[in-house]
Structure formats: structure tokens, C-alpha cells
Amino acid sequence: MDTEKEELYQALILDHDQAPRHFHRLDPFSHTAEAYNPLCGDRYTIYLDLNSHIIRQISFEGYGCAISKASASMMTSMLSGASFESALALFSSFRTALLIENPPSDDSLGDLITLTGVISAPTRIKCALLAWEAACTAIQGASRHAITPETTN
């Protein structure tokens, strides 16, 4: 990648790190998810307001490295109002783009392209996926619950 592009990417990541979007506790929320990365010390709580198919709102609190915080900030910006299906699809595309060597260009990634562009070390991939993994686990739990409601009571 050329230096100019890399500088542009770094600047956007830094902007999300210094002024994270949706960086507060949701009130009310329907679900929370804890995200902790012992390798780096990143620790976040994700708040979600979910109905049966849509992420009405999503926010986060916590602290960690610039990569993990920028990724969480971009996530909350991109997933507010998204369907469960599109959120999980975006997570999958993001993960693929981080894990494979030369990912094909994927417009759906939006600002996430800045993270896939600058990250190569496996330890940083963990930072980038941290908040997404936590949020998507909560979303998958909520969608399973919606499909097969508990009938044990």
C-alpha cells in the first residue's frame, strides 16, 4: 500500500480512537456483551437494544488500544439500525478481510477497510475483532431466542 493511503487510514483510526462514536451506556438496553482481550488489555462492554430482527441501537464503553477502540466505534456506527442478518454478514466479511492475505476489495466494509489495510499481525487482528465477536455473539443469542423461545417454565 502507498504511504499516502496508509497515512489516511491511520488518521481515520486515530480519529475514532480519540473521539469514539456511540461511546456511552445505553438506557434502556436489551442485551450487553463483555469483550476482554488479555493479550492486549482491551476491555469493553457493548450495549445493544435489540428487537426480534433489528439492532435498534448499539453503543459501548471501556478502554483499550487504538485498533480495538476504533473498530468498536466503527461497529456501533455501522450497525445502528442494521438487521441481524446484515450485521452478521458484515462481521463475516470483516473477519475474512482481516484473515486472508490479499482480500478482494469489498465496498460493504466502508471505514473498516482502514483496519484491514493497516493490520497484519495476528495479535492486532484479535484487537480488531474483539468488539465484533462480543456483539455478534449477543445478536446470535437473541436471534436463536426469537426462533425457539424457551418453554421450560
Contact positions toward Zn ion, by CB under 5 A?
Answer: 40, 42, 65, 68, 127
Q: Which is nearer to Zn ion, 1 or 121 (CB)?
A: 121
Q: Which is nearer to Zn ion, 67 or 136 (CB)?
A: 67
Query: Least Å distance between CB 1 and Zn ion?
Result: 21
Query: Least Å distance between CB 90 and Zn ion?
Result: 21
Identify the burial level of 43 via C-beta atoms within 10 angstroms of its C-beta, where 0-12 means exposed, 13-18 middle and 19 or more buried: middle
Query: Least Å distance between CB 43 and Zn ion?
Result: 10
The alpha carbons of the chain give a radius of gyration, in whole angstroms, of: 16
Residue 4 dihedral angles phi and psi, to the nearest 5°: -60, -45
Q: Which is nearer to Zn ion, 89 or 99 (CB)?
A: 99
Query: Least Å distance between CB 44 and Zn ion?
Result: 10
Query: Least Å distance between CB 119 and Zn ion?
Result: 11
Q: Which is nearer to Zn ion, 109 or 130 (CB)?
A: 130
Q: Which is nearer to Zn ion, 39 or 100 (CB)?
A: 39
CA 91 centroid distance within chain: 7
CA pair distance 65, 118, nearest whole angstrom: 14
Q: Which DSSP letter does residue 151 get?
A: -
Encode 57-79: b = buried (16+ Cβ within 10 Å), e = exposed: bbbbbbebbebbbbbbbbbbebb
